[in-house]
């Protein structure tokens, strides 16, 4: 129970960070959100990641320098959980 509460607190904190597309470390945060959703069986962090990556995928091209740091693994995991093709297209470039 204590671990679940700590994980929930950390995952909630990840939602408050000022993400920009993209920056170093974002992939770790997005992977953490996806993992928290799976472990805690609560998709709010997954849905945040879905919305954020979806927004980027709609305007990803032309690519800019830091797009190479996009959270590709998290995007594939989000796609697997949601079947959102736009997220997968963003991950594949």
User: What confidence score (pLDDT) does residue 61 get?
Assistant: 85
Question: What per-residue confidence (pLDDT) applies to 93?
Answer: 84
Q: How many percent of the chain have pLDDT more than 90?
A: 80
> What per-residue confidence (pLDDT) applies to 8?
97
| Per-residue model confidence as pLDDT tens digits over 45-74 | 999 999 999 999 998 789 899 999 999 999
User: How far is Cα 72 from Cα 47, in angstroms, rounded to an integer?
Assistant: 16
Cα gap 3→7, rounded to integer Å:
6
The whole-angstrom separation of Cα 81 and Cα 18 is: 25
Is the separation of the CB atoms in 37 and 71 below 8 Å?
A: no
At 66, list the tokens.
């830091």
């Amino acid at each position: 129970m204590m671990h679940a509460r700590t994980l929930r607190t950390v995952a909630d904190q990840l939602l408050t960070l000022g993400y920009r597309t993209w920056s170093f470390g974002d992939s770790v945060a997005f992977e953490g959100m996806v993992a928290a959703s799976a472990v805690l069986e609560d998709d709010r962090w997954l849905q945040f990641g879905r919305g954020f990556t979806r927004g980027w995928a709609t305007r990803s091209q032309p690519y800019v320098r830091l797009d190479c740091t996009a959270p590709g693994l998290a995007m594939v995991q989000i796609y697997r959980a949601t079947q959102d093709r736009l997220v997968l297209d963003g991950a594949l470039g």
